[in-house]
Structure 1
Amino acid sequence: MKKFTLTLICFLSFIWSQAQVQNATFTIDPPAFNEDDEITITVSGVDPSIWGVTDLYLWAWYFNSPTATASINSPNNGQWTDSSDATNPQILTNNGNGTYSITLTPTTFYGATGIDRIGMLVKAVDGTGDKKTQDNVVNVGIFQLSLDAPTDAVSIIDSGNDLTITATSTVTADFELFANSVSVNTQTNITSYTFDYTITEGVSFELVATESGTTNTLSETFSAITTPVNTEVPVPAGMKDGLNLNGTSATFVLYAPEKDYVHLKGNFNNNDWTLDNTYLLNKDSAQDRFWITLNNLPNNADILYQYVIDASISVADPYSTLILSEFNDGFIDNVTFPNLPSYPTGKTNDAVTWFKTGEAEYVWQTTDFQRPEVTDLVIYELLIRDFDNLHSFDAVKARLDYLQDLGINAIELMPVSEFDGNISWGYNPSFHMALDKYYGTPTAFKEFVDECHARGIAVILDVVYNHATGQNPYYRMWNDCNGCYNGQATAENPIFRETDSNPTFSFFNDIDHESPATEDYIDRLNEYWLTEYNIDGFRFDFTKGFTNTPGDGGAFDQSRIDILTRMNTAIKAVDPNAYVILEHFAPNSEETLLINEGMLVWGNSNYHYNQATMGYGDSNFQSVSYLTRGWTTPSNISYMESHDEERLMYKNVQFGNDTNSPVYDVTDLSTALDRQELAGAFYFTVPGPKMIWQFGELGYGFSINRCENGTVEESCRTSPKPIRWDYLNVTDRTDIYDAYTKLISLKLNEKIFKTNDFTLSVSSATSKKIQLTDASATGDEIKYVTIIGNFGVNTITIDPDFQETGTWYDLLSDTNETITVTDVNAPISLQPGEFKVYGNEQRNLSTQEFINGASFNAYPNPARTAFSIDESVQKVSVYTITGFLAKKFEGNFAPGTNFEIGELSRGLYLVQIENEKGIATTKLSLR
């Protein structure tokens, strides 16, 4: 999603960095307090500029009993999207030394008594996009207990040695130590506790302090194990890194060079998330891997686990296919993801891997899907979050009729692998192989892909392998802060780089693509998504960054070519026909070598098309043509809009040419929408693959930088945007949809739009022309197409320079408009924004001409190679959705007669019948 210029790169770096949670340090003065004491909360380690703000706000909650697990929000919070909306906005005071403070009294601040614990975090005024710190919860009450030693949750002690336990209380208390639930020591009426316990086996401790003369108690838990002794055993044959599940038997394999030992912990053992040498993994030093097999797991059960590295860092599996999050899962509803297990709060921290035993394999319903040829690709890029209010795979599946009617044959989903938070574009990945639960279940995703394939639509995933956030296990296992999220990878890290060779494009933690470990990792990820979810290919984000070569990525880089070529070869070994699309934006000489290896590249024509739609100069969009790059194959996925560009309609209305106002004003909404049709005529007709950004076919008019409160700020680039299905009620907008539908149908059904004999005359700011020739055309196939348009704001005349004299047909006309050409250079007058798509053969038949005078059934529907009618008919005509005749049958056909259509492209068609009852039509889907 990155761009050419330094300015925009820096901006995007800012946008991406704002999407991460910042870890803060909270201090409270006094550290022990009652609910009616005044306290000062001071926060350090937060840089508000990372979130694009200058002020910080407190978001607070409390618990009303020691056993309470549900929190109660402070009445002073305001809204998550606007903290300043509170009656008493809780803005922190900037102390000028990198710290921020707020003074409050809990009973007054929370408007409650009986407060047991208070919780807090610090956030930007709008906390979306994870512009917040981690949670911080503290106990309320003068009586406080502090465990001074051991400082680690788990201590490693040689068998027979002592563990020293020390603790202090703020008031006189009675102390009792429990080891594996058995009382082993009691000390009374003290404030400082010390005891040595001899370790001979794994022990779970609880130290309980009771305030003297009362029943008030506080406790701390910790554990110790004897120093692990590894067993050297090779990883069993056929086992991959991660989880290898066979019924109720599971083998776990972790790649962990330079590590001494690894434990498994989870909900499967009696100690319930406590470290236990029973679950010490075997070591295979030759392969730098640790592994363990668990047999007789409960069937049809949710299994949760983490690896514990050297008894200090708990991480989820790097190859998790689903994870549980202590921060995000509470915001995922039961409709989107039913029966989501609860996070094991209080038993562990950080992401947890989740799998289920006994799950049946998904049975694919569409097994003969044929992917569209590259030159035929019409891709619809969408962000599930902003496409439907239900933000799920099921919701998008329910919209497939709309997309199929439009005529697209591929859907490109913005990243759906696990990312930090829930509200995101997805370019902040944490677990590259896990499905993000905010969009739905694995089964729902498979059903979505299956249904797309049934409709002739390919599914392409946008994936992000340039970097990962601090949650990524491989990053946490080798960094300079012992597994925190915000440190720096160390030299031992086999996946992530210590320093990014390209600081201009520095996003999160940079992956080392020259490392053999990374090659194995990336290949495994690609294989998984292709085979598990049956997807059809990838759009690889920011492949310019797949290199260790110093610089800004703008120069020719043979290393980068080698890395991508190797990756492409590995993908094609799994699926020879998978699409491999690169967001590269490197020198043309480099992209030429990559497309010669069978890869595709993104082609951004947004600026020049938008200049054209606004009615200005500098609107030469010839880069949409692969021929201008010296290529012989249509390997550029061209687009007028993508997720990364300002929306055409927003700029049309805000900045369009109004110099001829009020005669012709581009900023007028209706006029601006009409100009989208004009642009489409000069876009879809250019041979080669194309892409539409969601709702572009309806003239989506909200800025890419729109904030949720309606303002437009660069900091809101990735914020949720309005979802406007109500556009379907606006004729000026559905006119764009109808025009795009016709243009896409032309592109896909007329072979002239695959020709390599075409020219673009589009350098003029006003008059533009495209001409195509298919010298191989025979019979009634279209041999010539001439497209003319007026992108100016005044009436013009244009020399069409038709390829021949005779009758020419307006291919988009609903009234079969024709012109007779006797002079190929006779000028044609065009009003501002007017355009014509002329062909030398007639194709158009408006769908409005169909008469629904009778009803019938066409079955099966969807069909594969043939269909039948449940009536006697004399004529059956099959039209594309825009009314182009695809096949005709005439005769006396009895009910149930098979009509063969196997040679037609997959998609949506209109079937028209004629019999003694009249004429009727129905829709038919061809798989």
Structure 2
Amino acid sequence: MKRLGLILVFFSFAFCSAAQLLTSLPEFILESSNSIEITADATKGNAALNNYSPTTDVYVHIGCITSLSTSSSDWKYSKFTWGSTDAAAQATYLGNNKWKYTITGGLRAFFGITNPSEKILKIAILFRSGSGTIKLANADASADMYIPVYEAGNNVRITDPFKQPLYTPTAEPISKTVGQTIAITAKSSSSADLKLYFNGTQIATQTAATTISNTPTITAAGNQVIIAESVLGNSTVRDTINFFVANTTVVAPLPSGVKQGINYESGDTSVTLVLYAPLKTRVSVVGDFNNWTEDSKYQMNQTPDGNNYWVRIAGLTKGTEYAYQYIVDGSLKIADYNTEKILDPSNDPFISTTTYPNLKAYPIGKTTGIVSILQTGKSAYNWQVTNFKRPDKRNLVIYEMLVRDFVATQNFQTIKDTLTYLKRLGVNAIEVMPFNEFEGNNSWGYNPSFYFAPDKAYGNETALRLFIDECHKQGIAVIMDMVLNHSFGQSPMV
């Protein structure tokens, strides 16, 4: 496929460490906590409710993750209907772009949980406008917000640096360099013996305390590890935060023969990734190949003109799909706009296994947002029709097709099996409305996001090729409708 030159412009959020997106009282919530206050700061996360008016028109969507939940999206006991303005769901405005929601009477009573063996693990919550058209969420708006529910006893948590309220809590973006200090605070749920470790070295200790703090100096680039430990009797618990301090970006020309995008090497165990990212200071790549952790080995080189970043990744397994993302300037996380396949945590769960069998699982708990896919040694498709002759363009009988509406199954496989109907109509060309990745699963396709990846809602890559092959057998040309003058919200180009 010949790729069109696309200009990538990144816009990123400014992150501030003065406050965090969600806070709660008590800080260690138990199932039995009689009164729970959850406060949202609308200047944080995706900031969707920042300066929202009227301030009385903010409500919560709330449920819980229990021991019976099967995934992060499997909310149990959701209390309110999305888009409703139930008075019981209304949040209280505190001023300064903050809203509070209060739960009383204990979590089990609030959610109506009667099964004694079912445990509440997390509160799942979103703050939204009354209509539900605006929602405050994590910086990646596709990710819901969660607050952990603890068991009574010995618990500890790092409270500074702040964490994003993700399903697996992750530190907010930390931008530090060698020689700078970082403020660290941890709290325990009971008076206990507390310790702080930074990169394997104990930096603070407190006896019979509930709070411990220290401000160590960062002495080397690379992965940084903060550990808080609480010892109470025979119980020892820990909380950990990892963050990355970048090396100075290496300036080096592109290797010979590589171009923007994914460059597969002979041998099928290595690739060179090239990202066009002018005006950026550093880029790293994270994915299945490095356990989604920034590492100096995967910090990308910058070309002398400052426009491209590149890195070579070796040691891959032939035929294995690897999910990955770029982290730009330490905070902006995006998929590769050159990819031929993405995983979308918001929309993939609604694609049937009949339409897309054996879809790779999304790396839940390791990242958020859309991820791109690379695969070395992918099996080549053997075209059955290699000598197709296009109909004379002066005599085209074109059928414009929206896959979603043409057949009930909404996929290429079923359309392939019904082409004789179109042939009987005298059709000799099918113009398929845009089928590259678009927003959601239900669209005309004129809201494109990834130009080189077929939308999985219609089937996998093989199903698309089989459809085209069958069209050619029937003497029918295939025309791809494309939109190249704009991109929509989930695109890394926006």
Corresponding residue of 1:332: 351
Structure 1 or 2, whichever has the larger Rg, is: 1
Contact 2:59 2:91 survives alignment (8 Å): no
Match of 1:75 among 66, 74, 77: 77
**Map of 2:157 onto structure 1:** 145
8 Å CA contact retained: 2:416, 2:467: yes
State whether residues 318 and 377 of structure 2, in contact with CA within 8 Å, keep that contact through their aligned partners in structure 1. yes
8 Å CA contact 2:204, 2:214 repeated in 1: no
User: How far apart are the structure 2 equivalents of 1:387 and 1:92?
Assistant: 42
Q: TM-score, normalised by structure 1?
A: 0.42
* 1:383-431 Cα shifts (integer Å, max 9, x gaps): 3233333322212223323332333222222322222332333333222
Distance 2:69 2:181 in 1: 30
Secondary structure in structure 2 of the residue aligned to 1:336? coil
Q: Match of 1:202?
A: 222
1:291 to 310, 313, 316: 310
CA RMSD of aligned residues (A): 3.9
**Partner Cα distance (2:133, 2:369) in 1:** 20
Instruction: Show the counterpart of 1:30.
Output: 25
Aligned twin of 2:472? 453
What amino acid is aligned across from residue 136 of structure 1 in structure 2? M
Show the 5 A alignment for 1:489-528. Answer: none
CA separation of 1:424 and 1:192: change in aligned 2, threshold 3 A: farther
Name the SS of the counterpart of 1:473 in structure 2. coil
Task: Select between 298-307 and 136-145 the one with higher mean Cα deviation.
Answer: 136-145
Q: Provide closer, same or farther for how the CA distance between residues 75 and 312 of structure 1 changes in structure 2, counting only shifts above 3 A.
A: closer
* Structure 1 CA distance for aligned equivalents of residues 477 and 67 of structure 2: 53
Counterpart of 1:466?
485
Aligned positions, number: 437
Match of 2:166 in 1: none
What residue in structure 1 maps to residue 283 of structure 2?
262
1:146 shift after superposition: 4.2
Aligned pairs for 1:890-909 within 5 A: none
Would you say the 8 A contact 1:26–1:136 is kept in 2? no
Match of 1:586 in 2: none
Report the 3-state secondary structure (helix = DSSP H, G, I; strand = E; otherwise coil) of the residue aligned with 1:285.
Answer: coil
Q: Distance in 2 between matches of 1:130 and 1:149?
A: 25
Match of residue 432 from structure 1: 451
Question: What is aligned with 1:341?
Answer: 360
CA distance in 2, matches of 1:315, 1:360: 27
SS in 1 for 2:481: strand
Unaligned runs of 5+ in 2: 1-19, 163-170
Q: 1:338 to 1:207 in 2, by over 3 A?
A: same
> Retained in 1: the 8 A contact 2:92–2:101?
no
Residues 414, 166 of structure 1: alpha-carbon distance in 2 compared, 3 angstrom cutoff = same
Show CA shifts across 1:222-269 (max 9, x none).
Answer: 223353241x33212332211011322211111121222222222213
Structure 2 residue 401 is matched with structure 1 residue 382: yes
Report if the CA contact (8 A) 1:144-1:169 is conserved: yes
Q: 2:67 & 2:489 partners in 1: Cα distance?
A: 34
Is the CA contact 1:154–1:275 (under 8 Å) kept in the aligned structure 2?
no
TM-score (norm 2): 0.75
Contact 1:325–1:351 (Cα < 8 Å) also in 2: yes
Partner residue in 2 for 1:825: none
Q: After the TM superposition, which residues 236-635 of structure 1 pair with which residues of structure 2 at under 5 Å, given as runs?
A: 236-246=255-265, 247-269=268-290, 272-286=291-305, 288-475=307-494
The answer (yes or no) to whether the contact 2:186–2:228 under 8 Å persists in 1 is: no
Determine if contact 1:202/1:276 at 8 Å carries over to the other structure. yes
- Name the residue aligned to 2:17: none
Match of 1:164 in 2: 182
Q: How does 1:482-881 map to 2 (within 5 A)?
A: none
Residues 194 and 229 in structure 2, CA contact (< 8 A), matched pair in contact too = yes
Q: Is residue 265–residue 279 contact of structure 1 (8 Å, CA) maintained in 2?
A: yes
1:780 matched to which residue of 2?
none
CA deviation string 1:771-816 (max 9, x = no partner): xxxxxxxxxxxxxxxxxxxxxxxxxxxxxxxxxxxxxxxxxxxxxx
Q: Distance in 2 between matches of 1:282 and 1:446?
A: 36
Match of 1:789 in 2: none
Residues 34-91 of structure 1 show CA distances to partners (whole Å, capped at 9, x for unaligned) of 33434455665557xx9xxx987644332235998556433345777x879xxx8975
1:225 corresponding residue in structure 2? 245
The aligned residue for residue 5 of structure 2 is none
Amino acid at match of 2:25: P
Checking the alignment, whether the CA contact within 8 Å between 2:176 and 2:245 is kept in structure 1 is: yes
TM alignment of 1:884-895, pairs within 5 A: none
**Structure 1, unaligned stretches of length 5 or more?**
1-24, 476-927
**Higher relative strand content:** 2
Give the deviation of 1:343 after TM superposition. 2.0
Query: Alpha-carbon deviation of 1:461?
Result: 2.2
Distance 1:428 1:130, change over 3 A: farther
In 2 relative to 1, CA 260–367 (structure 1 residues): closer, same or farther, beyond 3 Å? Answer: same
Q: Which has the higher helix share?
A: 1
**Does the aligned pair in 2 maintain the 1:93–1:101 contact within 8 Å?**
yes
Alpha carbons of 1:203 and 1:296: their partners in 2 closer, same or farther (altered >3 Å)? closer
Higher RCO (CA < 8 A, seq sep 6+): 2
Identify the residue that residue 145 of structure 2 maps to in structure 1: 136
Q: Partner letter of residue 74 of structure 1? A: K
Identity of aligned residues (%): 34
Is it true that 1:121 corresponds to 2:126 in the alignment? Answer: yes
Going from structure 1 to structure 2, the CA distance change for 1:284 and 1:268 (only over 3 Å counts) comes to same
Residues of 1 paired with 2:128 and 2:210: CA distance? Answer: 41
Contact 2:326 2:333 in 1 (8 A): yes
Q: CA deviation at 1:452?
A: 1.4
**Contact residue 63 and residue 116 of structure 1 kept, 8 A:** yes
User: Cα–Cα, structure 1 residues 46 and 251, in superposed 2: closer, same or farther, change >3 Å?
Assistant: closer
